[in-house]
A = this chain, B = another copy of it.
């Protein structure tokens, strides 16, 4: 796709996305500007600061990657266990897509309150997905006896955190496929009573 006719704003977002995608490259404001073919100051004409630019980049990716569409199978599931599996697939496979931006945003959390808030909001949305899956399992009467739904939601949320994905894939060297299947199995064993993996 030609980059010519796109608005400056879009070119900036695409540049930020691309730079953040490969972990090797730095993504300072000047780097992003250079990659977008605009001056560094042009960035500040469109985004008040780096945090806002990164946040806008995540929304931009969400649109391009259609996160909502990906979540549809989970919402359409007819059983709790299936809903859990489809949700893990949707979100778990989405993590690598946003990992670059996520990393940059997480790195800013200590210094930037706005970045913290933005990331927190996104993660709370994920938590809602976890909550819905847990509720569906509970409705089937299959939530592990020792768990209440709040605790189960928190645990699932933790299992599906970007940091966990990072640890298991980047650090431990798991493939994405291994990650998905092992996390599904883990969530099943630990949240669902009488769980048997539907292979």
| Smallest CB gap from A154: residue in B | B172
- Per the 8 Å Cβ criterion, residues 53-102 of A in contact with B are none
| Max count, chain B CB within 10 A of own CB: residue among A103, A168, A190 | A190
List residues of chain B with CB within 8 A of the CB of A158: 164, 167-168, 172
Cβ of A98 to closest chain B Cβ, rounded Å:
17
Q: How far is the CA of A103 from the CA of B111 in the complex (A)?
A: 12
Contact pick for A190, options B154, B157, B189, CB 8 Å: B189
Chain A contact-residue range equals 20 to 34
Q: Is the interface of A mostly helix, strand, loop or mixed?
A: helix
Query: A164 to B157, alpha carbons, bound, how many Å?
Result: 10
Given known A-B contacts A161-B164, A164-B163, A155 and B107 have beta carbons under 8 A apart: no
Using Cβ atoms and an 8 Å threshold, which residues of chain B touch A175? none
Chain B's closest residue to A163 (CB) is B163
Contact of A155 with B167 in the complex, beta carbons under 8 Å: no
B167 touching A161 by the CB < 8 A rule? yes
Give A185 to B190 CA distance when docked, in angstroms: 9
Q: A-B pairs with the 5 shortest C-beta distances? A: A163-B163, A190-B190, A154-B172, A189-B190, A158-B167
Q: Which residues of A contact B (CB under 8 A)?
A: 103, 107, 110, 144, 146, 151, 154-155, 157-158, 161, 163-164, 167-168, 172, 174, 182, 185-186, 189-190, 197
